[in-house]
Structures are given as C-alpha cells and as structure tokens.
C-alpha cells in the first residue's frame, strides 16, 4: 500500500465500517469519519512534503494488475497538477466532516455516502489509467443524488435530479471519447502515459479534432462551463453544507482537471484547434456568472454563480494554451475550492440558525457575530481577488495568460473583477453592516466546530495567497510539458 492508495481507500473503508455501526451510535460514526479524513489529510500533507517540487512527471507511483486483457491497470501517481488537487480534496474532506457533526438525521448514511464520494474524487485525481479515472469520476458524482435528496433543502428533488442527469450526460460524452481514444490508440492499454505518447502518432490530428470537444464538453458539464452550468445554482442551493462544499469545492475541479488531463494532455492537436471556442465559452461563463450573481437574492445562489464565473476563469486559463494561464488555472482551482468550501460552511452555519438564506432580510450581523463576519468577509475578499488572499495570484496569472494569446478575453476577464467586487461587497454590506434588526438579535456566533473549520480554511486561503511558491513550482514543472505539446511555451 502506498500513500495514494491509502489516501483513496481510507474514506472508502471508513464508509464500509460506518455501514456496520449501529445508527444509535452517532458519536462513533463521526469519530470513524473524522479518523478517516484525518488519515487522508495527514497522508496528503506527507505527499505534498515528499513531492519533488521541481521535477516534472509522476511521483508516488503505484500499479496493481486488474484486467490485463483490456489493458486496465490500477495505476496511481501524482504530478504537479494533481498533487495540489489531492491536498485540496483532503482539506475539503476534513472540514466537511467536521462541519457536518451537527447532522442529526441519519448520520450513518450521510457520512457513508459523503466518504464514498470523496474517495472517488481522490481516486480520480490520483488515477494514471483512463479507465480508473472514469470509474472513480462516476463514483464521485453519483452519491450526490441521495445526499441532496435526503439531506437537502428547498427544491432538492429537482436539483438532485438535474445534477445527476447532467453529470451522467457528461459521463456519456467522456465514455464515448474514452473508448474512441482507446480504440484509436491500438486498443492495447488505458494507461494515460501510453495514450499520451500516441498523441503525435496513432491519435491522428483528424481524430483529435473530432474527439477533443467531446472530451472537453464531457468534463465541462462538471466544470460548470457555460452553457452547461445550470446544475450549479440549483445543486449548490439545495445541497446540505458539506455536500455543497464537496460539489463546489472539488467536484467542479474534477471536471476542470479532466479537461486538462484527458483533454489537453492526450489530445494536444485538437486542443490547439478548439482553443478559441473554449476560450470564448470560458469568457462568457466568467462574465455571465458575474452578471448573474449581481441579480441573485439567495446567498448560495450568489456563491454558485460566482463559482460559474470563477470556473469560467479556469476554462479560460486552460484554453489559452499558455503556460502562465495554465499555471493560473490550476492554482485557481485550489484557491476556488478553498474559498467555496469556506463560503458554504459559513452559509450552512447561518442557515442552521436562521432557516433562510435570503440576502436582503439580514442586516447588522457584525454586531453579534463578529467571527462569522470576519470569516465570511475574508471569503468574499478572496473571491473578489484581493491580494494577500488566495484568489489574487491565480487570477493574475490567468489574465496574463489570456493577454498573451487573446487580449480581448483578458480585458473582459479583468472587467469581471469589478463585477465580483460589486456582488461580493453587496453581500457583506447587506448582511453584516447596517442596523441590527431585532429579528436577528438572538443569532449566536459560530459553534466551536464551525469556528475551527472557518479558521482553518481562512488560514489556508492566507497561506496560498501569501506564499504560493511551492504550489506554483510544482504546477509549473508539470504544466510546462503539457504546454510544450500544444505549440510551445510563450
């Protein structure tokens, strides 16, 4: 057992153990979930620490035979693009577990499903085999349905169905693309490195031009690429806190990760040809999400639309085909995962007390909820790209990358930052400033577990914002070979 397989299996085994615990013992269930998430978190820290930051290629490799006849191997490993994702996922898992302690309705099933989903995400980030990647990708997405339907709020049935159907629709695209790549590359192996080595031989340019959009659209569903984003507001709005954190924090990243790993890496020629199209879609998403967020009245909807906007940046960063932009895109995935986790943890804490998420009816909460105000404001500031918090450097790099290849796109994206300031400060100003109405005077500040989650995530936001160097070093070393395949570094 290596690090990566332990990280992946710990939540999964914990889910199995939890299913065996009688539901009358919620404390034990929480303890098992916490232990598993701590194990994954500590091990991913070790992976991060033991990773050679300046070396390209995959590290921490493991391989186990599974179906040799079809060239399917359980092959794991991380490079500079997936290692930050692993640690992001571990952080979201840990905080999601802790923030869900208060769930009283069927905690057993909740934790089991949540852990299975997160185990799937770990597997997809660590997989070096296209088939395993796809398998774990679906494992990650499908538990969302029961999680939202059983523990969700508002239009939960509709939202859960929509999320699942759009996820599955994306899977269909990916499935088609995956089989096509497998067959075209000689039907010998699903190994990603083997497939990548065929990018300039068996995977002909004509093939790549046809199947790149198939792959990109397939993963674009989960990455909330415009116009495939419509599951995001409903899904995040209806999902319980920890599920929103996982869905927005890491599932969306999984989509973008697939776009890079399977799309750009395996099909570089196709990526070159389709770059203008997806840059356009990303830009539309960025602007559109920002404009939409201004008009929303529900906290979660504002955040969900801002996520569409931020994922638009990620799509832009990936599709600019510039090294600077790709660096920014990957770092933005980390940053956005952390900040949305913080957002949804905080919104959930509020919803548990106030039972509403209407922006307009709050006011003056800074008076009786200072910690809450502080954490939420920091999340907003990170989201609007304030320097010193995690959002700034990645957005800077994405914009510079965009300016290198598509200056107009760069201008539009930068303008979106002003929109971000508008909708984020509107939230802060509405909810926390102004006179404190009597109705909310009884709200109390964060509970200890929520405080811990908030403080922990704020700490990560500051660390990534002030000292992004290790992240950028490892991302840069692994992104450079990807970009070299698509027409060279600029």
Partner 1 sequence: MDYAWLAPVLPIGAFALNVLIWRQMGARKHALSALTTLAAIGGAFLVFLAVFSDASSHLEGTATSSGLHLIFEDTPWFTVGVSPHLYVFAPTLVVDWLSIMMLGVVTFLAFLIEFYATGYMKGDNRYWWFFSVKALFTAAMLGVVLSYNFLLMYICWELVGLCSFLLIGFWYSERANAEAAKKAFITTRVGDVGFFIGLALLFIKTGTFDMKATFAAVESGAIDPATVTIAGILIFLGAMGKSGQFPLHVWLPDAMAGPTPVSALVHSATMVAAGVYLVGRSYPVFHASSTTMGVITTVGTITAIFGATIALTQRDIKRILAYSTISQLGYMIMALGVGAYTAGLFHLFTHAFFKALLFLGAGSVIHSMEPVLSGTGRNPNDIFNMGGLRKQMPVTFWTFLLASLSLAGIAPLAGFWSKDAILVGAYEADAWLPLFVALLTAFLTAFYMFRCIYLVFFGPAKWQVATAAGDHHDSHSTDHVKGRHAVPHESPWTMSLPLVLICVPAIAAGWIGIPGFSAGFAETVRFGPVIEEHINLVLAGAGTLAGVLGIGLATLMYLTPVSGPRLISESFPAAYKTLYNKYYVDEMYQWIIDHVVLAIAAMAATVDRKILNDRIVDWCGPFLQGAGARLRLTTSGYIYHYAFGFIIGIMAIGVVMSGGIPDMRFALW
Contact residues: partner 1, CB under 8 A: 162, 165-166, 227, 230, 288, 291-292, 294-296, 323-324, 327, 363-364, 366-367, 381, 386-388, 392-393, 396-397, 399-400, 403-404, 407, 410-411, 414-415, 417-418, 421-422, 425-426, 428-429, 432-436, 468-469, 472-473, 476, 480, 489-490
CB of 475 to partner 1, least distance (A): 9
CB 420 within 8 A of CB 309: yes
- Is the CB of 112 or the CB of 402 nearer to partner 1? 402
Question: Residue 178 belongs to what H/E stretch?
Answer: helix 156-184
- DSSP 3-state assignment of 62? strand
- DSSP 3-state assignment of 61? strand
- Is the CB of 50 or the CB of 227 nearer to partner 1? 227
CB of 96 to partner 1, least distance (A): 26
- DSSP 3-state assignment of 129? strand
Instruction: Tell me the chain's radius of gyration from C-alpha atoms.
Output: 21
- Is the CB of 113 or the CB of 483 nearer to partner 1? 483
- Is the CB of 21 or the CB of 323 nearer to partner 1? 323
CB of 294 to partner 1, least distance (A): 4
| Residue 161 burial (CB count, 10 A) | 16
- Is the CB of 66 or the CB of 433 nearer to partner 1? 433
CB 136 within 8 A of CB 120: yes
Q: How far apart are CA 76 and CA 190, in angstroms?
A: 13
CB of 110 to partner 1, least distance (A): 28
- Is the CB of 31 or the CB of 165 nearer to partner 1? 165
Which position has the token pair 């209407």? 358
CB of 469 to partner 1, least distance (A): 5
Burial classification of residue 382, based on how many CB atoms lie within 10 Å of its CB (0-12 exposed, 13-18 middle, 19 or more buried): buried
CB of 242 to partner 1, least distance (A): 25
Burial classification of residue 466, based on how many CB atoms lie within 10 Å of its CB (0-12 exposed, 13-18 middle, 19 or more buried): middle
CB 474 within 8 A of CB 83: yes
- DSSP 3-state assignment of 65? strand
CB of 322 to partner 1, least distance (A): 9
CA dihedral 16, 20, 23, 24 (to 10 degrees): -140
- Is the CB of 35 or the CB of 396 nearer to partner 1? 396
Cβ neighbors of 244 (< 8 A, separation 6 or more) are: 236, 300, 340, 344, 347, 348
CB of 404 to partner 1, least distance (A): 6
- Is the CB of 132 or the CB of 160 nearer to partner 1? 160
- Is the CB of 245 or the CB of 389 nearer to partner 1? 389
Question: Residue 385 belongs to what H/E stretch?
Answer: none
CB 170 within 8 A of CB 218: yes
CB of 28 to partner 1, least distance (A): 34
**Angle at CA of residue 459, ends 337 and 234, nearest 5°:** 30
Q: How far apart are CA 81 and CA 263, in angstroms?
A: 14
- Is the CB of 96 or the CB of 468 nearer to partner 1? 468
CB of 164 to partner 1, least distance (A): 12
């Amino acid at each position: 057992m290596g690090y990566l397989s332990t990280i992946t299996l710990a939540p999964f085994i914990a889910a199995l153990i939890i299913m065996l615990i009688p539901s009358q013992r919620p404390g034990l269930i929480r303890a098992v979930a916490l232990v598993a998430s701590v194990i994954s978190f500590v091990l991913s820290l070790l992976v991060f620490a033991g990773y050679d930051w300046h070396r390209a290629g995959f590290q921490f490799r493991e391989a186990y035979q599974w179906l040799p006849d079809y060239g399917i191997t359980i092959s794991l490993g991380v490079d500079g693009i997936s290692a930050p994702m692993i640690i992001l996922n571990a952080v979201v898992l840990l905080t999601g577990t802790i923030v869900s302690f208060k769930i009283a309705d069927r905690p057993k099933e909740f934790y089991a499903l949540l852990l299975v989903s997160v185990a799937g995400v770990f597997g997809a980030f660590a997989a070096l085999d296209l088939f395993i990647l796809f398998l774990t990708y679906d494992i990650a997405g499908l538990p969302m349905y029961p999680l939202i339907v059983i523990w969700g709020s508002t239009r939960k049935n509709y939202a859960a169905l929509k999320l699942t159907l759009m996820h599955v629709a994306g899977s269909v695209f990916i499935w088609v693309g995956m089989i096509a790549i497998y067959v075209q590359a000689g039907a010998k192996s699903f190994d990603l490195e083997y497939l990548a080595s065929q990018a300039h031989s068996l995977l002909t340019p004509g093939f790549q031009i046809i199947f790149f959009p198939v792959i990109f659209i397939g993963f674009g569903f989960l990455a909330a690429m415009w116009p495939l984003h419509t599951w995001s507001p409903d899904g995040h709005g209806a999902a319980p806190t920890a599920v929103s954190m996982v869905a927005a924090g890491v599932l969306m990243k999984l989509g973008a990760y697939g776009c890079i790993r399977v799309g750009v890496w395996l099909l570089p020629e196709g990526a070159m040809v389709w770059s203008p199209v997806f840059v356009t879609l990303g830009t539309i998403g960025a602007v559109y999400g920002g404009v939409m967020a201004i008009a929303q009245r529900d906290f979660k909807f504002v955040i969900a639309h801002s996520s569409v906007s931020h994922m638009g940046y990620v799509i832009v960063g990936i599709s600019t085909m510039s090294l600077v932009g790709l660096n920014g895109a990957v770092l933005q995935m980390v940053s956005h995962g952390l900040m949305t986790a913080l957002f949804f943890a905080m919104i959930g804490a509020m919803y548990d007390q106030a039972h509403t998420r209407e922006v307009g009816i709050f006011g003056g909460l800074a008076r009786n909820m200072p910690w809450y105000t502080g954490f939420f404001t920091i999340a907003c500031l990170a989201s609007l790209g304030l320097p010193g918090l995690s959002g700034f450097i990645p957005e800077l790099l994405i914009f510079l990358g965009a300016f290198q290849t598509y200056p107009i796109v760069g201008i539009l994206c930068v303008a979106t930052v002003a929109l971000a300031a508008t909708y984020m400060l509107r939230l802060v100003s509405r909810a926390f400033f102004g006179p404190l109405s009597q109705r909310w005077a009884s709200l109390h500040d964060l509970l200890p577990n929520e405080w811990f989650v908030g403080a922990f995530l704020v700490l990560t936001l500051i660390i990534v914002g002030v000292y992004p160097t290790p992240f950028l070093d490892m991302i840069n070393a692994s992104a450079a070979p990807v970009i070299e395949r698509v027409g060279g570094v600029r």
